[in-house]
Amino acid sequence: MDKKIRVELGERGYDIVIGSKILEKIPGVIISDPLVYKLYRSRVKGLGARVILIPRGERYKTVAMVEKIWDKLAEWKISRDDTIVALGGGVVGDIAGFAAATYMRGINLIQVPTTLLAQVDSSIGGKTGVDHSKGKNLIGAFYQPSKVIIDTDTLKTLPEKELRNGMAEVIKYGVIQSPYLFELLESGRMEMEKIIFECARIKAEVVAGDERETGGGRMILNFGHTIGHAIETLSKYRKISHGEAVAIGMVAASVIAVKAGMLDPDFLERIWKLVDKFKLPTYVKGIPARKILEAIKLDKKVRGGKIKLVLPTAIGSVEIRDDIPPQKIAEALNEFICK
């Protein structure tokens, strides 16, 4: 039986539906990538006579790619009564979401994430956008979907590396708010529907309380992302995946928390071991700390020149700090993260 979680945003609220064999229920103009569409074409056949395929990879998450989508939508005379279906991973969801947010000032959007990372994180909450040479997701909009449909069957065809990518975000939820989830992961019980449900539940609650990151509550979802995004940008979105960068960022934030006297070293060890358990990196090669700090200064989360960091205080608890001196961040990076 399908499970539902409600994202409570008043008139713009929507359901997250989690189940298996539910792709068949989705109508609309499909935006996907060639590999994903090939895998699920037979299951979504007839849902939309029109399909837009975009190349795979973060490096294609650009304004130029969105412009190509706009061109197609205009050519097909797509109206505000139509629906865009984002069928794919996080890159597809971000691009399709931004296209939906901007075409005709907004048309209906359904997110159908097919990767673990997108299912537990990027498809929920309305963040859409594209990358810029100066930073990740610098151009974008908050635009909520009308529904998120998570078909857990899609994980059966997911490569191991993509599963690992998603596990970085799953670990994040455990550290920021769910000791239950963290301990479930430590136990090695990969009960995916439970894992996805718990992550989606947390994300829905956080987004409902602070939709546009103005009240500070949503900021906790950026655990591992401030340093992680900098590493992604410096790797030019090719050498290091989003999940890998977030994993390194979480370890870095935990090291900084220990050095700031906020986190018991035993908790750092548990976080490090869990990241390593899922074969995710805990350090980065060839990128100096000074470059990471320079990239962080362009991050959207920097305010008044102060670097905002989400730092753990225990498993299931974090604090937002903007008083950690850059030299202290650099020391932690040089000692533990930058090899």
- Residues forming the active site: 105, 127, 169, 203, 213, 218, 222, 225, 229, 242
Beta strands in 1-69 (DSSP E): 3-7, 14-19, 29-32, 51-53
Is 92 annotated for ligand binding?
yes
Is 242 annotated for ligand binding?
yes
Is 132 annotated for ligand binding?
no
Is 169 annotated for ligand binding?
yes
In 3D, which of 178, 163, 283, 306 has the Cα closest to residue 228?
283
Q: Which residue is associated with the tokens 């103005």?
A: 214
Is 152 annotated for ligand binding?
no
Is 156 annotated for ligand binding?
yes
Burial level of 217, CB count in 10 A (0-12/13-18/19+)? middle
Is 127 annotated for ligand binding?
yes
Is 155 annotated for ligand binding?
yes
Is 339 annotated for ligand binding?
no
Is 323 annotated for ligand binding?
no
What tokens does 169 get? 């975000």
Q: Assign residue 143 a region (left: φ > 0; alpha: ψ between -120 and 50; beta: otherwise).
A: beta
In 3D, which of 234, 240, 217 has the Cα closest to residue 292?
234
SS (H, E, C) 93-137: HHHHHHHHHHHHHCCEEEEEECCHHHHHHHCCCCEEEEEECCEEE
Query: How would you label 299-318 residue by residue, b for 16+ Cβ within 10 Å and e otherwise?
Result: bbbeeeeebbbbbbeebbeb
Q: Which residue is associated with the tokens 């979480």?
A: 250
The annotated binding site for Zn(2+) is made up of 169, 225, 242
The annotated binding site for NAD(+) is made up of 90-94, 114-115, 127, 136, 154-157
The annotated binding site is made up of 90-94, 114-115, 127, 136, 154-157, 169, 225, 242
